[in-house]
Structure 1
Amino acid sequence: MGVKGFVEGGIASIVAGCATHPLDLIKVRMQLQGETHAPNPNPSLQSLRPALAFHPPTTIHAPSTPPPPVPRVGLIKVGLRIVQQDGGAALFSGVSATVLRQTLYSTTRMGLYDMMKQKWSDPNGGNMPLVRKIAAGLIAGGIGAGVGNPADVAMVRMQADGRLPLAQRRNYKSVVDAISQMAKKEGITSLWRGSSLTVNRAMLVTASQLASYDQIKETILEKGVMKDGIWTHVTASFAAGFVAAVASNPVDVIKTRVMSMKVEPGMVPPYTGALDCALKTIRAEGPTALYKGFIPTISRQGPFTVILFVTLEQVRKLLKDF
């Protein structure tokens, strides 16, 4: 019974992930809009800095007004720009990483949540209390994210690659190539870069998404608003998608930036960690930057959650006799 939950959740997650991949790619590009990295000091020039004290003050000019912020581009414009620059197939850049990520991350979280739901539900046939649903989602999401982080890093990098100048692109051939190159050039630990963020986001998403879906669906059925069928599943899943998007977007923005940052050999990384990235983002772009890409997030999270749970319910029907 436990294994079946992993299979059902894995199939539904892969279908949903592939179907909404272009929206996820656009979301990543929008989250990276306006990102600025101050040039790292050149170590060779550091030793010359004391000499500046002997120059007249007039030779040192303070920068005038800061450069104007880069105008933000909307969901449709970002999508059109990707198609115009790199063709329609570019909307599916990194889709192999999405498949691997859903296979590792979502299969694990969906299966574990299903196992805990069975164990923690009322043995007399009652529903699992909301607090237990949230706890199950937090645990399942955290474990799933730890398992799937290498694929998550590869997916973000492959999706973000197209926004870099041609000379700076990584040009990974596939998710396997991305993971192997990262391991060789940056060390095995690079595969878990941003893992604390991935885990935090996954815990928030899984707890809000799975718990709210179950709770909303149960409420609809108990109140007799609708009968158990596809429209109940669509309604509950879209509401769950909205809740998950609101809860996870700030962590998602920081995760995207930390994972996609380019670390040059011998240079200081643009961000030292999640907190540093969050502070620099807020300082440079304001608090609203943490909800950058929210429209594509909800545009993707809504359909993803609908496809996920509608597919899951249908797969459960097909596999109910196994």
Structure 2
Amino acid sequence: MGLKGFVEGGVASVVAGCSTHPLDLIKVRMQLQGETSTFSHQLRPAFAFSSSTAAATSIHLPPPPPPRLGPISLAFRIVHSEGLPALFSGVSATVLRQTLYSTTRMGLYDLFKQRWTDPETKTMHLTKKIAAGLIAGGIGAAIGNPADVAMVRMQADGRLPQAQRRNYKSVFDAITRISKQEGAASLWRGSSLTVNRAMIVTASQLATYDQIKEGILERALMEDGMGTHVAASFAAGVVAAVASNPVDVIKTRVMNMKVEPGKALPYNGAIDCLMKTVRREGFRALYKGFLPTVSRQGPFTVVLFVTLEQVRKVLKEF
């Protein structure tokens, strides 16, 4: 009984992850916009002295940052410069991530529901749903962090100049090379952020879906069918996107930062990344990629729960 919840959640998560991967890639690219240029935003006065007058004639300022693109413009740029397949860069990492992370969180949440559901009312209190989501999401994220690091890097690789690209062949190549070049511990870089984000996403996503679905059925607004599943899952996706976007931006930047021997790290952890991002780009930077996040989280959550409900029907007799 308990194992079935892991299988159902795993299948639904892989289907949802693969079908919305291009939206996730665009979200990552948007979250990284403006990052490289911000490190040179401090004024660097360089006085040019004339040999005859020895007087300062000019001050050279750093070039202005490139314009930030919206999701549609960015998608066209990716396709134009990297080709259509680039929208699926890192999809192998998405499959592994969903297999590890989402299978674990969905399965654990289902176990908690079985144990914490009131036998008389057949429902679970909202606070218990949130607690179940927090615990399940945290454990799932800790297990899936290596795939998350690989996925972020593979999705972001195309934005770099050819000479600086990592050119990972697959998620396994990425994990192997990261371990050899930066140490196995680097596969858990940003894990605290991944865990925090996963706890927020899982608690808001799964608890919201169950709560809204129960409310619709209790008030007889709709029957327990596709319409109810779509409405509840879309609302859950929006709530999850709003709650998790700031953590997601910092997570993306910490995971993607380039580690070079002998050079200082761009960020000394999550708090440092948060402070530098807000100081240099403003608080709104924490909601970079929000439109594609919602655009991705909404369809992802809809596909996730609609698929989950259908898989449950298929496996009902097992």
Give the structure 2 partner of residue 219 of structure 1. Answer: 215
CA–CA distance in 2 between the matches of 1:289 and 1:70? 15
Counterpart of 2:103 in structure 1 is 107
Q: Aligned AA for 1:38? A: F
What residue identity is the alignment partner of 1:31? Q
From the superposition, tell whether residues 59 and 179 of structure 1 become closer, same or farther in structure 2 (CA, over 3 Å). farther
Over the aligned positions, Cα root-mean-square deviation in angstroms equals 1.7
Residues 123-176 of structure 1: per-residue CA shift (max 9 Å, x gap): 224200000000000000000000000000000000000000000000000000
Distance in structure 1 (CA, Å) of the matches to 2:195 and 2:201: 10
- The 1:319–1:166 alpha-carbon spacing in structure 2 relative to 1, beyond 3 Å, is same
1: CA distance, partners of 2:297 / 2:39: 33
> What is residue 207 of structure 1 aligned with on the other side?
203
Q: Return closer, same or farther for 1:184/1:235 CA change in 2, 3 Å cut-off.
A: same
**Residues 60 and 243 of structure 1, relative CA distance in 2, 3 Å threshold:** farther
Q: What is the CA distance between 1:63 and its match in structure 2?
A: 6.5
Change (3 A) 1:60 1:225: farther
CA–CA separation in structure 1 for the residues paired with 2:119 and 2:30: 47
In the alignment, the residues of structure 2 paired with residue 164 and residue 277 of structure 1 have an alpha-carbon distance, to the nearest angstrom, of 20
Asked whether 1:120 is paired with 2:121, we answer no
User: Partner residue of 1:47?
Assistant: none
Cα distance, 1:69 vs structure 2: 4.1
Matched to 2:39, the amino acid is A
Taking a change above 3 Å as real, the CA distance of residues 62 and 290 of structure 1, as seen in their structure-2 partners, is farther
Matches within 5 A, 1:280-319: 280-319=276-315
Q: Mapping of 1:1-322 within 5 angstroms?
A: 1-36=1-36, 38=39, 67-322=63-318
Runs of 4+ off more than 4 Å? 58-67
**Deviation at residue 60 of structure 1 after TM alignment:** 9.9
Deviation at 1:263, TM superposition (A): 1.2
SS at match of 2:35: coil
Calculate the TM-score normalised by the size of structure 2: 0.93
How far did residue 198 of structure 1 move? 0.1
- Name the aligned partner's letter for residue 33 of structure 1: Q
Compute the displacement of 1:34 (Å): 0.5
For residues 195 and 57 of structure 2, the distance between their equivalents in structure 1, rounded to whole angstroms, comes to: 45
Query: Which deviates more from structure 2 when the two are superposed, residues 64-73 or residues 262-271?
Result: 64-73
Measure the CA separation in 2 of the matches of 1:278 and 1:268. 17
Q: Which whole-Å CA distance do the structure 1 matches of 2:165 and 2:73 have between them?
A: 22
| Alpha-carbon shift at residue 38 of structure 1 (Å) | 2.9
Count matched residues: 304
Shift of 1:65: 6.2
SS of corresponding position for 1:123: coil
1:196-234 C-alpha deviation (Å, 9 max, x unpaired): 000000000000000000000000111111111001000
Query: Secondary structure at the residue paired with 2:68?
Result: coil
Post-superposition Cα deviations, 1:62-95, rounded to whole Å, max 9, x if no partner, equal 9776654432101111111111111111100000
Cα gap change, 1:70/1:284 in structure 2, threshold over 3 Å: closer, same or farther?
farther
The alpha-carbon distance between structure 1 residues 316 and 280, as it changes in their structure 2 partners (threshold 3 A), is same
SS at match of 2:109: helix
One-letter code aligned to 1:153: V
Aligned-partner residue type, residue 25 of structure 1? L
Quickly say closer, same or farther: Cα 1:167–1:224, change in 2 above 3 A. Answer: same
Scaled by the length of structure 1, what TM-score is found?
A: 0.91
| Structure 1 residues 182 and 124: alpha-carbon distance in aligned structure 2, compared to 1, 3 A threshold | same
1:52 matched to which residue of 2?
none
Between the aligned partners of 1:263 and 1:59, the Cα distance in structure 2 is 41
